[in-house]
Structure 1
Amino acid sequence: MAAPKRTVPPKAKAPIKAVRKPAAKKKTTSSATTPFKILRWSLLLLFLSFIVAGIYHYRHGVLYYLGFKSSKRIDVITKDEKKIGDLRIYEIVSRHKDRVFGFDISHYQGSINWDSIERTKGDIPLDFVFIRATAGVDGADTEYKRNWKQSKKAGFIRGAYHYYRPDENSIKQADNFIKTVKLGKGDLPPVLDIEKVSGVQSIDSLKSGLRKWLVKVEGHYGVKPIIYSGESYYTDFLKEEFTEYNLWIANYSFFEEEIRKEWLFWQFTDKGAVKGIDGTVDVNIYNGNLDGLKKLQIQ
C-alpha cells in the first residue's frame, strides 16, 4: 500500500503592516505675525483716510492752486510751480481773498530787486511790507535804508520794526529805533518784535522793559506801536499785560487756517516766494480790506 502523501501546511503569511502616510503639516501662524499684519493694514487704512480727509479738507486750496495763472503775484508761495506745494497755504489764500496780503523783510533776503515785484498784478496783490530797521541797542539792518526808500517808490504801504533783545537796555533800544526810523504820513505804526525770553532777568523785568520801549516810541511818533510775536510766546508771557496793543501774530500751525479776530496781522508762513526776492519770505494777512489798512496809516 502506497504511503500517504504528506500535506505541507501553507506558510502563514506575515501580517501586513499598515503604512501610514505622513500627516500633512499644519500651517501654523505665529502669534506675532497676525497682530503685525493687522497693525500694518490698520496703519495703511489710517494713512489713506488721512489723505482722503486732507484732500477733502483742502479742496478749496487744491482748486485755487489749479486755477492759478502764470501771472500770479506770489508764486503761490512755492518756487516750483509744477508742485502743489503746501496745501495749507493755498487753503489760507483761498479763504482770505477779501483780505489784504503783504510780506516782511530784513537783510536776510539780501538785495531785493524792487523793480521786479509786480505789486498789483495777479491773483494775490501785495499791498504792504514791514521792514526790519534795528535790533537791540545798536544793531542796524544793513538793507533797511535801501528797502525803506525803494518800497515806497514801488508803491507799497510800508512799516518798520525793531527786533528786541531781552538782555539789553530797553530805553537804549528805543533810542536806536527812533534815531534810525523816520515815520511820516502814510506809513504804518512802528512795530516791536519780541520773540525770546531773557537769560539774566525775570519775566516781570522783561515786561517792564517792553513797556518802557513801547511808551517811549509812542511818545516820539504819536501813535501806538504794534506788537509782533509768536502766538505761544504772546499767550504765555504778554497777553495779560499788553491787551491794549494791536497784534501781529506769527502762527504756522497746520491746523490754523483762519485769521483770528484779535489779530491785526497774521504771519501765516515763512516760505513765501516773491518775484524779485531770492529765497523764501514771510507772508502776512491784514485783518481787513485795503480801506481799513489805509486808515491804519499815520495821518
Structure 2
Amino acid sequence: MKLSRRRALGGLMAAGLVAGCGGAGGGRGGPPGLMHPRMLQAADHRAPGIPARFGDTDPHEWQGHRPDLYPVHGIDAARYQGPIDFGRARAAGVAFAWLKATEGGDRVDPGFEMNARAARRAGVPVGAYHFYYFCRSPEDQARWFLRNVPRKAGDLPPVLDIEWNHTSPSCRLRPPAVETRARMRRFLAIVGDHYGTRPVIYTTIDFFRDNDLQHFDGYEMWLRSVAGDPAERYPGTRWTFWQYSGTGVVPGVAGNVDLNAFAGSAEEWQAWLARRSQ
C-alpha cells in the first residue's frame, strides 16, 4: 500500500496536481500532514477492466480475468487522498474502505480519524490498517495500533500491511522467512485478541514469495496484483481481497487511490460482513 501511494503521489506531483500538504498550520482545513490533491474525474479515465463508474490513470490491459467481473469493490487510502467524500464514493460503487491508521510504533496517519468518521456516516464499512516496520518489535507495534484505533461495532477487521519497504531511510532489515512469519503471528495474535476478530493480511508478490506465505494458514489474504490475475501471481493461493490498481480514480476521492475487489458475490459479501465485522 505504501509503495503504491508513493507511485500515485509521484504522478500527481509530476502533473502539477498536488495542491500541497499540511505543515504546522494543518493545511486547508485538515489535520497537519494531510495531503490535498486535486479531484480527478473518473469519466476522463475510463479503462477496460475497471468498474464502470471508476477510472484509472495508468491502466493495465486486462484480458481474461478482469477486475470488473467481480461485483463488490472498495478502496484503501491514507493521508495522500486528503478528505474523502464517502457519500459520492458510495454512490459510485465503493462498498468498503480500509484506511491507514498507524505505522511502526510511533506514527499515526493524520487522515484516519476524519475519514473513518466520514465513511461510517455515509454507511461505508471501514477498517484500519497498520504498516509494519521491521526495526520495531511486533508487540510494540500491536500496542501502538490498539492505542490509536478504537474498537467500533460494525467496522471491518483490522489489517496487517506487511511488505518490504525498499526505500526506508531508517530500516533496511529483512529477517529470515521463519523469523518474519513468527513476528507476524505475534502481532496478529495481540490485535486479534483485542478486537475479537482475526486480522486480514495485506501483502505484495515479492514479500509473499520471499517469506513462503503460501504456508501461512489461518488468516485471510489481501493480495496486491496490478498487472495480472492473483491466480497468475500467487499460484494456488486463496484470497479474499485483490488490490488490482494503485492508480484508480473514484468519485469523491482526490488524486489516485488503490482499487480492490472482494472475491465473492454481493450476497457473499453481505455474509462476510456479518461474520467478520467487529
Q: Scaled by the length of structure 2, what TM-score is found?
A: 0.70
CA contact (8 A) 2:89 2:253 kept: no
Say if 1:154 and 1:90 are closer, same or farther in 2 by CA, change over 3 A: farther
CA contact (8 A) 1:133 1:177 kept: yes
Q: How much has 1:111 moved relative to structure 2?
A: 2.5
Partner of 1:251: 225
Q: What SS class does the counterpart of residue 216 from structure 1 fall into?
A: helix
The CA distance in 2 between the partners of 1:173 and 1:285, in whole Å, is 28
Q: How much has 1:201 moved relative to structure 2?
A: 6.1
User: Residue 259 of structure 2 is aligned with which of 278, 283, 296?
Assistant: 283
The CA distance in 1 between the partners of 2:63 and 2:94, in whole Å, is 16
Q: What SS class does the counterpart of residue 101 from structure 2 fall into?
A: strand
CA contact (8 A) 1:272 1:280 kept: yes
Deviation by residue 1:60-110 (Cα, 9 ceiling, x = unmatched):
x75x78xx9xxx531x2249xxxxx543299724432xx310010001112
Q: What SS class does the counterpart of residue 88 from structure 1 fall into?
A: coil
The total of aligned residue pairs comes to 220
Partner of 1:112: 84
Q: Scaled by the length of structure 1, what TM-score is found?
A: 0.66
* Identical residues among aligned pairs (%): 29
User: Residue 202 of structure 1 is aligned with which of 142, 155, 175?
Assistant: 175
User: Residue 174 of structure 1 is aligned with which of 117, 138, 142?
Assistant: 142
Partner of 2:204: 230
Let me know the Cα RMSD of the aligned residues.
Answer: 2.8
User: Residue 193 of structure 1 is aligned with which of 161, 172, 177?
Assistant: 161
Partner of 1:102: 74
Q: Which has the larger radius of gyration?
A: 1
Partner letter of residue 145 of structure 1?
Answer: E
CA contact (8 A) 2:130 2:160 kept: yes
The CA distance in 1 between the partners of 2:159 and 2:144, in whole Å, is 13
Say if 1:208 and 1:278 are closer, same or farther in 2 by CA, change over 3 A: same
Say if 1:181 and 1:290 are closer, same or farther in 2 by CA, change over 3 A: farther
Partner of 1:294: 270
Q: What SS class does the counterpart of residue 254 from structure 2 fall into?
A: coil
Partner of 2:53: 73
Give the alignment of 1:1-299 within 5 angstroms. 73-74=53-54, 76-78=55-57, 86-88=60-62, 92-96=66-70, 99-115=71-87, 117-121=88-92, 125-196=93-164, 199-200=172-173, 202-203=175-176, 204-253=178-227, 255-256=228-229, 262-297=238-273, 298=277
Partner letter of residue 258 of structure 2?
Answer: D
CA contact (8 A) 1:73 1:120 kept: no
CA contact (8 A) 2:73 2:260 kept: yes
Q: How much has 1:180 moved relative to structure 2?
A: 1.1
Partner letter of residue 74 of structure 2?
Answer: G
Q: How much has 1:273 moved relative to structure 2?
A: 0.4
Q: How much has 1:269 moved relative to structure 2?
A: 0.7
Deviation by residue 1:266-286 (Cα, 9 ceiling, x = unmatched):
001101001222211100000
Say if 1:164 and 1:147 are closer, same or farther in 2 by CA, change over 3 A: same
Q: How much has 1:149 moved relative to structure 2?
A: 0.2
Partner letter of residue 205 of structure 1?
Answer: E
The CA distance in 2 between the partners of 1:201 and 1:231, in whole Å, is 15
Q: What SS class does the counterpart of residue 173 from structure 1 fall into?
A: helix
The CA distance in 2 between the partners of 1:290 and 1:240, in whole Å, is 27
Partner letter of residue 101 of structure 1?
Answer: H
